[in-house]
Structure 1
Amino acid sequence: MATALENLLVKGLNKLLRPVNCTVVGSNHSRTCFNGNFERRHEPSFGLLFDIDGVLCRGQQVLPEATSAFKKLRDRHGKLRVPVVFVTNAGNCLRQTKAEQLSDMLQFKISSDQVVMSHSPLKMCRHLHDKHILVSGQGPVRDIAKGLGFHKITTVDELRDLYPHLDCVDHSRRRMLQKHIKEKQIDHPQIDAVVLFGEPVKWERSLQLVIDTVLTNGDLNSKPYQVPKRHLPVIACNVDLLWMAEAHLPRIGHGSFLLCLEALYQKITGHKLQYTVLTGKPSEITYHYAETVLIQQVRKMGLKTPIRTLYAIGDNPATDIYGANLYNEYIGSKLLQQMSQAKSVAIGGSTSDILDSSEVESMEHNCAEIMESVLVCTGIYSKKTSLEVLEKDPVDHGHRDFHFVPKLATPSIEVHCVKEAIEEIFKRENFK
């Protein structure tokens, strides 16, 4: 990846190489150069980060405005004119599966390289990949973990099969276990970390077995006599308290499951559950990763104009808008303090504590100067819940580990739908 110095050298070289009789027309964001026999195509200096649920669809129902919006984004050959990345807090499927769903929804080819799931940044946490992990969630959680680089994996359902007597909320099942199961020592490798991908189907089972795993520091054959001072690493993806599906009311999400887990652990032990890493919006590490993915799309598209502005379009003030504004503050501090000094992330300590040094180095060369947050009214947020109400009596729907700053939940741009969002962005960028 080019360094900041190399970028400056390239800019200087381009100026020197520009033909003498070349005339530049248009804005800085979209330029065409004519010298008699050469025409440079219009290029954007901005990129788009799309949330999915509540912006492009509601559950399985595609919003008509989404189809119209993406017609504006494609050229006459059906190819995207602007670099686009889809950033979702969903974590119950593989990137490839989500890309296929988006392709069907938007009626043109979306690649897995354009999709950032809530768990995608864990691919960069290579120092965790050799740990034996317990994974919670639904869908192909084992395949998801493998795709991220983890090698030693046990699912909650597999752990329950090994220790059936630990899952006894169901009274009818408990009577069956009394007849057939005798306590015995289980030969199972100790668990080194817990990874929570998304809300499980059987909440009580995951809550019980995750707490058992944390209390025993991964050795479920043991009986702890005191709460461990430092428990094993706990990694959570997606802190959305609520999300929007086909129903007219918001549905509880993985953030609600985490709230239950944290409350139970603290009530049982008297201590707070500590997270090693939180990924998904609004964490800065997720926006770091999304920006890196978008820059890769810029290169694949063959664009030469640097991307200076990122627009993050979402429906949830507590995650989409808060996260975009939080990352915008980070970008500002990065520019002021120089890239090499701005390595902190909101959750889990410094970037160097979470990522390999090579990943930190890679992300520091991302080039955006500003991130604008765009709020649509087709999901969690609606016109009935006006920004004036949110500002007057703000309710903190964010995760407990994100310090709540009400102004960060206020968008740069508010529009009705994603189609209007694209129109407003094009207008601002003088892009046609």
Structure 2
Amino acid sequence: MRIGIAFDIDGVLIRGKRVLPQAIRAIRRVQDARVPFVLLTNGGGTTEAAKAKELSRVLDSDIRASQMVLAHTPMAPLAANYSNVNSNAVLILGSPFLCIFTCTRPSSSKRNESKSGKSECKDAALAYGFKYPVLAEEILVTCPEIWPFRAPSKSCQPISLDRKIGAILSFHDSQDWGRDAQIICDLMRTGGDLRRVVEPHHRDRTRHLHQHHTPPEQLPLYFSAGDFVWSNNLPLTRFAQGAFRYALETVYSRLTHGKPLEYTMYGKPHKVTYDYAQSAIDAHAVSLSLSHEVPIMPCKYFGIGDNPESDIAGANNNGWTSILVKTGVYESGPHEAKYLVADVEEAVDVILSQPHD
């Protein structure tokens, strides 16, 4: 069959910390049918390999790292600009210094936990080729007065302030909105020079620039996802990365007397992410072919999701066939899916029951 599928994760395969039982059956059916697929999510905060390993365990399936398209995965090519010894550092926003991913399979009451003693966001940045990724918590440890409202992590080490920050990349939901908003605004107003933020002998110059409203040099700022909310086991939705971006825009505009915050968006529903996902599906199609076979390349792509604003809008706008499931943040809205189904297993029924040759 000349088709490819992109599954969203939260709200489609997993709800909160529990795998939906339909998800295990749906993934198994797609694998048995030898249909190429990826897991396309606006979540992240870890490496593709770590996420694939965790999902393989809870879904009882073999998921490869190359099938994982996390929110920040399409950002990997940006590393080419920050990959050598003379490069500026980059600020990576996302997971806390200690990252824990917990998930429960439907057949078990025992949780599977994966713990890391270092930031998985930083691991992802290093894997992409960024030479000097730094974390907001590392900056806070170096200068606690930057955000003096809580104690810095004892597990995090201070960093050198000699190297400027050349870009800011939000890989995942902010774990401390106040800290991150303060640091971003500091970096934007000082051209990425942390010394001008923390060292006393720079104080007069920095105050002069602020008082005379000199337009600050904005650093490149990238957000990996724009989702405003996401769903877990609670009846009401939770704020996501998009909510932090709205808050940051308001704070920055007020601080700079109306200057808009400039940034670049990745993630669903943006074209750069769907182009990347389509390439990943095509690569999976090639890997499914036997050595003597000509690969059966997809000519039709399906996007299964629970969020009309990201999953359905993205699929529709990029020429894919959209399928909306009711197991996540589903609400009726302006972005109408081609198919509306109860869950991911019914979505797979719809896909596999159609002629695709």
Distance 1:249 1:134 in 2: 32
The alpha-carbon deviation at position 430 of structure 1 amounts to 5.9
Q: Does 1:427 align with 2:353?
A: yes
Partner of 1:320: 311
Q: More strand by proportion, 1 or 2?
A: 2
Change (3 A) 1:227 1:58: farther
Distance 1:190 1:308 in 2: 46
Partner of 1:137: 94
Equivalenced residues, count: 305
Question: Please, what TM-score do these two structures have when normalized by structure 1?
Answer: 0.67
Tell me the SS of whatever aligns to 1:288: helix
Partner of 1:105: 58
Distance 1:413 1:104 in 2: 30
Give the 5 Å matches for 1:338-357: none
1:169 aligned partner, one-letter code = F
Partner of 2:188: 214
The alpha-carbon deviation at position 199 of structure 1 amounts to 1.7
The one of 175, 178, 181 aligned to 1:201: 175
Tell me the SS of whatever aligns to 1:91: coil
The alpha-carbon deviation at position 122 of structure 1 amounts to 1.1
Q: Does 1:47 align with 2:4?
A: yes
Tell me the SS of whatever aligns to 1:428: coil
Partner of 1:308: 299
Partner of 1:164: 144
Distance 1:412 1:287 in 2: 17
Tell me the SS of whatever aligns to 1:194: strand
Partner of 1:24: none
Question: Please, what TM-score do these two structures have when normalized by structure 2?
Answer: 0.81
Q: Does 1:125 align with 2:78?
A: yes
Q: Is the 8 A contact 2:80 2:129 kept in 1?
A: no
Deviation digits for residues 297-339 of structure 1 (CA, Å, limit 9, x no counterpart): 01111163331100000000011111111212xxxxxxxxxxx
Q: Does 1:235 align with 2:222?
A: yes
The alpha-carbon deviation at position 126 of structure 1 amounts to 4.3
Partner of 2:17: 60
Change (3 A) 1:151 1:187: closer
Tell me the SS of whatever aligns to 1:53: coil
2:323 aligned partner, one-letter code = V
Q: Is the 8 A contact 2:79 2:128 kept in 1?
A: no
Identity of aligned residues (%): 32
Distance 2:161 2:326 in 1: 53
Q: Does 1:416 align with 2:342?
A: yes
Unaligned runs of 5+ in 1: 1-43, 175-185, 329-370, 391-405
Tell me the SS of whatever aligns to 1:123: helix
Q: Is the 8 A contact 2:14 2:20 kept in 1?
A: yes
Distance 2:123 2:351 in 1: 38
Change (3 A) 1:74 1:197: closer
Q: Is the 8 A contact 1:217 1:228 kept in 2?
A: no
Distance 1:230 1:297 in 2: 42
Partner of 1:393: none
Distance 1:152 1:102 in 2: 29
Distance 1:125 1:261 in 2: 23
1:414 aligned partner, one-letter code = L
The alpha-carbon deviation at position 59 of structure 1 amounts to 2.2
The alpha-carbon deviation at position 187 of structure 1 amounts to 4.4
Q: Is the 8 A contact 1:374 1:412 kept in 2?
A: yes
Tell me the SS of whatever aligns to 1:141: helix
Give the 5 Å matches for 1:387-398: 387=332, 390=333
Tell me the SS of whatever aligns to 1:420: helix
The alpha-carbon deviation at position 124 of structure 1 amounts to 2.0
Partner of 1:74: 31
Q: Answer 1 or 2: higher relative contact order, Cα 8 Å, separation at least 6.
A: 2
The one of 312, 323, 326 aligned to 1:374: 323
Distance 2:146 2:79 in 1: 32
Distance 1:422 1:141 in 2: 32
Tell me the SS of whatever aligns to 1:188: coil
1:190 aligned partner, one-letter code = K
The alpha-carbon deviation at position 229 of structure 1 amounts to 5.2
The one of 261, 266, 269 aligned to 1:273: 261
Q: Is the 8 A contact 2:306 2:324 kept in 1?
A: yes
Deviation digits for residues 66-101 of structure 1 (CA, Å, limit 9, x no counterpart): 1221232233xxxx5100100011121111111112
Tell me the SS of whatever aligns to 2:53: helix
Distance 2:64 2:233 in 1: 25
